[in-house]
Structure 1
Amino acid sequence: MSSSSSDEVFEERFDEVFEEIFEDTFTNRVEAQTSNQRSRAYIERNREGGQDRLWNDYFSEDATFSSQIFRRRFRMNKDLFLRIVYGLSENFPFFQQRRYATGRFGLSALQKCTEAIRMLAYGSAADTVDEYHCTFLFT
């Protein structure tokens, strides 16, 4: 057997093995991604209802909580708070409400600012108030 023919045999066998490995790897990867997508559960968080409750509790004319309670919880008056919300939502994209890939709206500027200002008012880190964030906004 000549050197060139053994090189050709090696290359053909190498190509076959490479294609098998590549195909198996690709198939496994696609199956893993598909099974991950199927295993994710959707959790309804009722963000729209949270926005409505937040507004009704603190900012409507006949709010559930008085201005004094608002001031004690947020350490500022409502007018200043709403000016901050407006300023942040106008100047920083993070504080603007967006649609998710599913077409549903995320948290409103008011909801995002409420949590950020509460974290500042009480000196908490974001990961320590995550559960409280849901409780505060949605209960």
Structure 2
Amino acid sequence: MAERTSQECLEYFCDAVIHLYKREYLHRATSHDVALLYNAHEERHHLPGMLSSLDCTHVVWRNCPRGEKGQYTRGDHKVPTIMIEAVASQDLWIWHAFFGPHGSNNDINVLNRSPLYDTTRNGMAPNTSFTLRGRLYRCGYLLTDGIYPKWSTFVKVYPHPVDPNEVKFKRVQEASRKDVERAFGVLKGKWKILDVQSG
């Protein structure tokens, strides 16, 4: 198949996906969505104020152009990969996704270029305030792993918990972070199927 034909087919496919799923799945979180996320996570994980989990993963780029392989290859991966940053909830709704540009080989580099907080900076973010034990918090939080910076919207796991409450929280948080790991597993499974079909 000619390169132009395959590119046009991909564009038509993307247009069809956007047309079919834009209203329900391809949008930023609204205030109503935030309320649903809060309720679902508090019911399932017993974590009030939790929006979702944030993480990055490497996706193998089998058809990477030869001239760009060096920019997308890391020492611990033998093949070119693209980093994808995602925020996913328990029902596999990925309400934020960002593919890291070349040279962004870790979570921090991707986060620094990501538009995740652009709507917050522009004043267009939905209200994510919540109340816990009579105290009002201005914004919800995302569960992250230890590599992320100490931001007020990130809740990281205790590296070496000693207190029984810290041990319990670490167990609950690790179980909650399985949401984004599950979403990555589904995405990678879909990409393998597409890669086999196109190969």
Larger radius of gyration: 1
TM-score between both structures, scaled by the size of structure 2 = 0.24
More strand by share: 2
TM-score between both structures, scaled by the size of structure 1 = 0.31
More helix by share: 1
